[in-house]
Amino acid sequence: MIMTAYALVGLGAFILARMLLQEQESRAAQDNLAELRDRKASNGLVKLTRPFFTQYVVPLIRGKPFWDNQRLNYRRKIITAGLKEELTSDEFIAFKLFLIIFFPVVGMFLRATGFLDVEWYYMVGFGLAGWFYPDYWASTLIKGRQKSILRAMPFIVDLLALSTEAGLDFVGAIGKVVDKAKPSPLVEEFGQMLKEIKVGSSRGEALREMAFRINMTEVNSFVAILISADQMGASIGKILRQQSEQIRVERMLRAEKAGAAAASKVLIPLVFFILPAVMLMVFGPFVLGMIYPNGT
């Protein structure tokens, strides 16, 4: 009888402990899901699939040496695309792996319901599309971000030059630009640079980190000149003014080059589509008159 009582007490304690552990695990899972929902996501597909690939795929690749090179490559791409607040390198790889399965599953569902009339082997193409889609998305973001930075550079550099010529030091000029300028990727990068300087990084280190994040030839040249001027003790305001003028000249040259390229591209539809139609309308009646001289 006593042994039975001990067994019942032990069983009750086990069940109670198990219930408490399950409640803690459930609460932790709910907290993780709430955190995932609160995280920023500029891509609807990332927002839709994040709870799945973070829970089931990320643990499979986290800490695995096989993915080390991929982590380094995608870390640079994520930073340059401005996605460091949305995805880690492990999550980006997990997103790619998850889409290899997700896209074919969606394709098979659409095929089974009659919305998509393709053969089964097309699912292989869907899987490949799932692997390459995140890279395409990140590359598109990088191009748009770099284009925006290139467009904003002359104005921002002018503001920095005016601020330094008005008596502010370079760090103070950056703070003024971050506070007053219109929000843009370049202003965000200067804001990040200002934070790094405030926590102890040197001005040269913060500039190099900004150039690493943006990953543009124009910004790399701009940063190299600023670091060189800072080391030699040259006037930052004068250097900024010269850089602003040079950036404007380079932008004008790029616009002229793009205009010349557009003119040559217009020749293709002009020669193959517009010109034949015009020739047909102009010379068509004469040709018909020669073929049918009596009008029959």
What does the pLDDT average to over 59-74? 88
pTM: 0.72
Please tell me the distance from the alpha carbon of residue 91 to that of residue 57, in angstroms, as a whole number. Answer: 8
Close Cβ partners of 68 (under 8 Å, ≥ 6 residues apart): none
Among 5-19, 33-47, 125-139, which range has the highest average pLDDT?
Answer: 125-139
Please tell me the distance from the alpha carbon of residue 47 to that of residue 41, in angstroms, as a whole number. Answer: 6
Please tell me the distance from the alpha carbon of residue 148 to that of residue 128, in angstroms, as a whole number. Answer: 31
Please tell me the distance from the alpha carbon of residue 242 to that of residue 273, in angstroms, as a whole number. Answer: 47
Task: Give the total residue count for the chain.
Answer: 296
Count of alpha carbons within 13 Å of 215, Cβ hemisphere only? 15
Domain annotation for the chain: domains and CATH numbers: 36-144 (no CATH), 146-252 (1.20.81)
pLDDT tens string 76-104: 899 999 888 889 999 999 999 999 999 99
Give the distance from CA 220 to its chain's centroid: 19
Spell 98-107 as b/e; 16+ CB within 10 A means b: bbbebbbeeb
Weakest mean pLDDT among 10-24, 44-58, 195-209, 237-251? 10-24
Pick from 129, 123, 47: nearest CA to 91: 47
Token pair listed for 30:
């709910």
